[in-house]
Structure 1
Amino acid sequence: MIVYIFGNGNIKYSDFEEFYLKLIKRLANENVQFIVCDFRGVDTLIMEYLKCETEKVTIIHIGEKLRYLPDKYKTKVSQWKIKGGFEDDKSRDNYAINICTHFIAKDFNSNKNRISGTQKNIELCQSLNKIKIDE
């Protein structure tokens, strides 16, 4: 199982706990490979949780330099795979969506006037028959 985890950059921690953390805790002990980007919000919160839980993480990022990576000292981060060089959010996200089998995501920002990037990625995952992990 390859799980792409993504979401909004401005998530409240209580929403992260409710919509992400309980699912990730359930999966962390299984044979799961996680894919995470390096943006603020959901991405950094996920990395901080997973750093001591599993070495089965791939971080994908735009350009040559990561925006964020947790400390490697006494964690499993040094065993994570890092894949960079993507030109923009869309190419990075499309890469993750194409290789994942499952996804965890929740959109808090879309409304009748604006569809967020998170919502667009959810819709793309669904159109490609990726399996959404929720309760």
Structure 2
Amino acid sequence: MKTAYISGHLKISNEEFTEHYVPKIAEALERGDSFLVGDARGVDETAQKYLVLYTDKIKVYHMFEKPRNCELGLETVGGFQSDEERDAAMTAASDYDIAWVRPGREDSGTARNLKRRQK
């Protein structure tokens, strides 16, 4: 069993989430993998709402004392002082990424998350 780090853009349509995330999440669920996700709107919030329908193996990472967006009852890991610190912690605590970088957004936080894994 492995741990997936789900990350993505702050703005995502249901169609984009279904196309770029659902198939990879479904594969991970079939394997019994667990999931790390942030607390931002967009992919983070959408992934939380999707995952709670299928598993309880979810941890929400957040900055400061409490998460901005978190499905009720999910385990949280907090206290990070920046997005970069939180995202680096999720990379370190996971085995692989489930992420999609929108064309033209190769300088986004999501792209940096994927590059961090490659180092």
d(CA) in 2 for partners of 1:116, 1:42: 13
Give identity over the alignment, percent: 31
d(CA) in 2 for partners of 1:68, 1:7: 15
d(CA) in 2 for partners of 1:52, 1:106: 22
What residue in structure 2 maps to residue 49 of structure 1? 50
- Indicate the RMSD between aligned Cα atoms, in angstroms: 1.3
What residue in structure 2 maps to residue 22 of structure 1? 23
Q: 1:90 aligns with which of 84, 91, 103?
A: 84
Q: Which moved more, 1:101-110 or 1:41-50?
A: 101-110
What residue in structure 2 maps to residue 124 of structure 1? 116
TM-score by length of 1: 0.81
d(CA) in 2 for partners of 1:66, 1:22: 27
Secondary structure of the residue that 1:49 maps to in structure 2? Answer: helix
Q: Does 1:101 align with 2:95?
A: yes
What residue in structure 2 maps to residue 6 of structure 1? 7
Which structure 1 residue ranges, 4+ long, deviate > 4 Å from structure 2?
A: none
d(CA) in 2 for partners of 1:24, 1:4: 10
d(CA) in 1 for partners of 2:117, 2:95: 9
Contiguous gaps of at least 5 residues in structure 1: 73-77, 128-135
d(CA) in 1 for partners of 2:105, 2:69: 25
Q: CA deviation at 1:22?
A: 1.6
Q: CA deviation at 1:52?
A: 2.2
Highest Rg: 1 or 2? 1
d(CA) in 2 for partners of 1:18, 1:63: 32
TM-score by length of 2: 0.91
d(CA) in 1 for partners of 2:105, 2:28: 27
What residue in structure 1 maps to residue 70 of structure 2? 69
**Count of aligned pairs between the two proteins:** 117
